[in-house]
Chain A
């Protein structure tokens, strides 16, 4: 026997923390950590519903596996973009993003050194 209020509260807290992480971080890699927390909140909800419901298709478990896979794909592409941005601009600071637009890559790299 388990109360569903606990999993629901954990999902709500994780989603709120992830939102804070996405909004309050300047380092692009740390923003991704916030995104991971939001995705985990969704996973906790799916698992808790699958754990108690009459789930003949195992939708809670299977959809959680799908979300984990999609999160892995998302992190893969996002980190490639972050590395490309770092190579071109010399930093991954989102507060300064857009300030050096239009500058050729070589100049940006030189000015960053």
Chain B
């Protein structure tokens, strides 16, 4: 048990507890806010593991952009404020889902824990090394990813525009076939 283990355990406990609250709370908006805590403490885990650049990207992209998008979508879909039973399925469904979730956890633990091995040296990665590899070895996947981001942006725009023009059109059955 080293100091890094203790710090990682504390941060991971926060991440797991807030993740549990994010998927079980009855307040719709609280779920998104607990997701902020969970993703932020996962970024803390990355810091403990020595990946400082990825931790910053996690904070910027996940906490800064993705959660804001989720909150925005909750606002636009007129999510109810306050506790609401309608956000989760029935009790039987939830028990089945909990059993399946526990099975996933147990399966992953059974596979991963035996190969964890003894304590190892954590050299830590500098941003310079990450940047050299990102723009050297991984440059083509990087470029393809930028294309993927562009395509998803255009696709999101197209999906929202298509529906709007189908709504405005005279024939509502002709969705997707508008001029």
Enumerate chain A interface residues (CB-CB to B < 8 A). 1-21, 23-27, 29-30, 32-34, 36-37, 40, 43-45, 47-48, 50-52, 55, 57-58, 60-62, 64-66, 68-77, 79-84, 86-88, 91-93, 95, 104-106
Contact = CB atoms under 8 A, between A and B. Distances in A.
Interface centre among B105, B109, B175 (most CB of A within 10 A): B105
A95 to B, nearest CB: 6
B66 A71 contact: yes
A72 B149 contact: yes
B156 A17 contact: no
Contact of A105 (B46, B113, B167): B167
A6 B108 contact: no
Contacts, number: 279
Task: Please report whether the interface of chain A is mostly helix, strand, loop or mixed according to DSSP.
Answer: helix
A27 B28 contact: yes
Task: Please report whether the interface of chain B is mostly helix, strand, loop or mixed according to DSSP.
Answer: helix
Contacts of B15: 10, 14
A96 to B, nearest CB: 10
B61 to A, nearest CB: 5
B54 interface: yes
A33 B172 contact: no
B122 A2 contact: yes
A24 B116 CA distance: 31
A8 B162 CA distance: 43
Contacts of B164: 87
Contacts of B5: 2-3, 6
B81 interface: no
Contacts of A79: 69-70, 72-73, 156
B94 A77 contact: no
